[in-house]
Structure 1
Amino acid sequence: MDFHSKRLNDDSDYRRNELIRKIERAVEHMTLKELEALSYDMFTKGYIEDI
């Protein structure tokens, strides 16, 4: 892997981790009804297999 490919991969990994942290913080503050709606939406889109 050359320098530029590694740099792009590092940037992508950083951005991915940053987004995961933001999503985790948002989910922590959701009500049960909001979590159920999110869960159903993710299920219907195939992101999770069992609700």
Structure 2
Amino acid sequence: MPGSGTEYVFSLYEVRPAGSNPDYIVRSAKPIYTLVTEMNTIVYGPENRS
């Protein structure tokens, strides 16, 4: 809830090649999108691409 002081960090990663270990991807790759928000839901669409 906004104003509660709780922050969520959402990070989106590209997994290549398919079947790669997700833990390795998170530790070794830079996210393609990151958002810090107090909301517990997000809407990701074409306007969020970098």
What is the TM-score when the length of structure 2 is the normalising length?
0.23
